[in-house]
Chains A and B, each alone.
Chain A
């Protein structure tokens, strides 16, 4: 990569959320014309997802306190469009030998790169609960997308359950939009928030926003309970959710009625693309997450691969902007461009602040790993393949599978459409609990292409040419 003329340097950025947009902006400013590939129809990513063209809600309505940041990202990207190669609604489904394999409108596009910046973002982190496979159960992120993109609510009486900042944000967005919010049930205890407060103070405005959401919910008469444990989402296969049974911190059982549940336990990084580039991963004890290894500026262990945003570390949208920029500078530096060390130092310092804030969030809203051991055997763990906790435990106990990929091979947990994105973390906790080993030893599911379902009817000129060449040669 070193010594290449900047206007011929091929940099591919995957993802047009806050990290991808800032990375593109930084590269364009240096004279590079990057290719930006994004699954979304319009840039902005998940958090700053834009509504369809014919919708007219104001940025304030859509993004609340983050309206100006959202607009900043959108305007920046719109200003870059002529200086980048932009491929929207395009899914990168595999990466191999310095080439990105992408599909759009059932057509293959294969793009070579000198450097690859992956800004793949995050999705909801989920812990199964009995009944979560019924109609009417959504992830918090999915519930937010329904509202933000399509202006629809997932139900008329929605129960919000789980933990993390998104729990309060989405509940308050639903409230503001006029949807029925039955209750907010947080598995974390209030005292954890108090203990984490000093770290959360490293981003006082974010902390204040969080408190405002809680106050608004309480002011509207929405019960907000902390320290609960969900026991079962009630309902039936035909009519879907009818309510939720939970246990309070004091051990009392309660049932509340509702027609939809929005649940989630903060976020998990989307790392399959990094995995396909054969990056090394490391287990983070504090969050119980496997992260691709990166250096301070976002370099992965695979040469010429860079990771930015929540896909590299769950640090939030504002940190994603910083890391997008930092990672692009690292990429430029590796290409032999002189970049300002002061700028890099300043960005690293910003990142340190966000890391401290994220640590506070992690402590205030911890992943409820302990729930895994208590899940009743009949609880579905892998929703794609409809495999229960009992079946997964049986592969551990009767078949000796004490590692996630082995348990997947025997039980099919993680083999379905989502490739374990929604069940693998909980699955590993269940395996670890059943085997009596630390969850780090249960390992992580290796990423396998395609990252998302790939149409068999995909058209590819290269494949067609390869086959006809061989046929001609043998005639």
Chain B
């Protein structure tokens, strides 16, 4: 089918983050006509302001097939999209502190089990750890190293998918806020704030922290909480810290992670996530969270104490109670699909989510297991 010129298409996607933009791209590759509706600009919310981790390790084992599907897309993304999204296979290091030495055992177990999903991890401690990563602080006890994980620039990835989808003939509508979505016989009827009406037999909701307002219209409210990550970036210094490093800990206030980009800046994330405000499309960094984050980054890499941060930011991410997304077909309405609520860990899987949703919509099934993300598992919060 070719892309129609009017407001009728094969698929309407609501939400132009990484999930929606990549789904639009892969649907066009499958020659499905697509209309993507985005309230603001492509990749402007969680997809654009996150840390940029392209990390498989640490995800639930059952998510590794999805994460594994994303890996080759990331590696080939520049060729695929015709734009540089600054993906680097820098390696990813997950560490634990001495006072939580038991986590080292869980690293071992995870590494053993992850191998069957094609993810090779190297467990390091003692001298081997110090030799390979001499910059880590004395509290660091052990680590799990993934040589094939890396990072990319979140400000560029989703917009690059959006532009590539448009070049393939996708109808990408920015500054188009959806006020209503309903099923009208065969077609979904989606009304924008400015009165435009879009129709398609398939509707995919990839609206992140805003998705509940849509799923609710189809009788499937979800307990989605908007929160904002704490991001900081340092001034540029010589490029020496190759792997992305993150601390594994059950305490949110203790979490911290960083990556250095070749131009020299070091991006730091972690500490308590603050509330964010989808209604006004704003998220604010709480200074007290910046301060705890800086304290923890000094613990992880003491030498970073000699640098300055030059900017902080946050964004609006949608969190689920079990940290898993709603991804797959609707439980109430045929032709309706969801992919949202990635709970702060959607960036790496993003392109695979688009690919899987395109496959599912195009072929009626996907080779990647996604049943654990079924929206029917979620019960709305009773207010």
Contact = CB atoms under 8 A, between A and B. Distances in A.
Interface of A: 93-94, 96-97, 99, 101, 108, 110, 278, 399-400, 403, 406, 409-410, 415-417, 419, 448-450, 453-458, 460, 462-464, 466-467, 470-471, 474
Interface residues of B, number: 36
A474 B234 CA distance: 31
Contacts of A457: 298, 305-306
B287 A449 contact: yes
B147 to A, nearest CB: 28
B266 to A, nearest CB: 9
Contacts of B128: none
B18 to A, nearest CB: 14
B292 A474 contact: no
A466 B253 contact: yes
Nearest to A458: B294
Given A96-B284, A450-B309, A453-B309, A467 B295 contact: yes
Nearest to A411: B155
Given A416-B310, A450-B310, A471-B251, A456 B288 contact: no
A470 B288 CA distance: 14
Given A417-B235, A453-B235, A466 B288 contact: yes
A470 B253 contact: yes
Contact of B291 (A415, A448, A458): A458
Nearest to A403: B41
Contacts of B44: 406
Most buried by A among B234, B306, B312: B312
A449 B298 CA distance: 20
A457 B294 CA distance: 7
Contact of A455 (B163, B295, B308): B308
A190 to B, nearest CB: 42
Contact of B307 (A409, A456, A474): A456
A222 to B, nearest CB: 39
B296 interface: yes
B115 interface: no
A108 B284 contact: no
B285 A463 contact: no
A414 B87 CA distance: 22
Interface in B267-324: 284-288, 290-292, 294-298, 304-313
22 contacts: A93-B287, A94-B290, A97-B286, A99-B287, A110-B287, A400-B163, A406-B44, A409-B48, A416-B310, A417-B235, A449-B311, A450-B312, A453-B308, A454-B310, A456-B298, A456-B305, A456-B309, A457-B298, A458-B291, A463-B292, A470-B253, A470-B254
Contacts of B250: 474
Most buried by B among A99, A399, A449: A449
Interface in B24-64: 41, 44, 48
Interface of B: 41, 44, 48, 155-156, 159, 163, 234-235, 250-251, 253-254, 284-288, 290-292, 294-298, 304-313
Contacts of B254: 467, 470-471
A101 B159 CA distance: 35
A442 to B, nearest CB: 14
A48 to B, nearest CB: 29
Given A456-B306, A467-B253, 8 more contacts: A96-B284, A409-B48, A410-B155, A455-B305, A456-B304, A463-B288, A463-B292, A463-B294
Contacts of A94: 285, 287, 290, 312
B290 A449 contact: yes
A400 B156 CA distance: 12
Given A399-B159, A406-B41, A410-B155, A453 B291 contact: no
A94 B311 CA distance: 11
Contact of B311 (A410, A448, A467): A448
A362 to B, nearest CB: 31
Contacts of B155: 409-410
A474 B305 contact: no
B310 A417 contact: yes
A450 B308 CA distance: 10
A474 B252 CA distance: 12
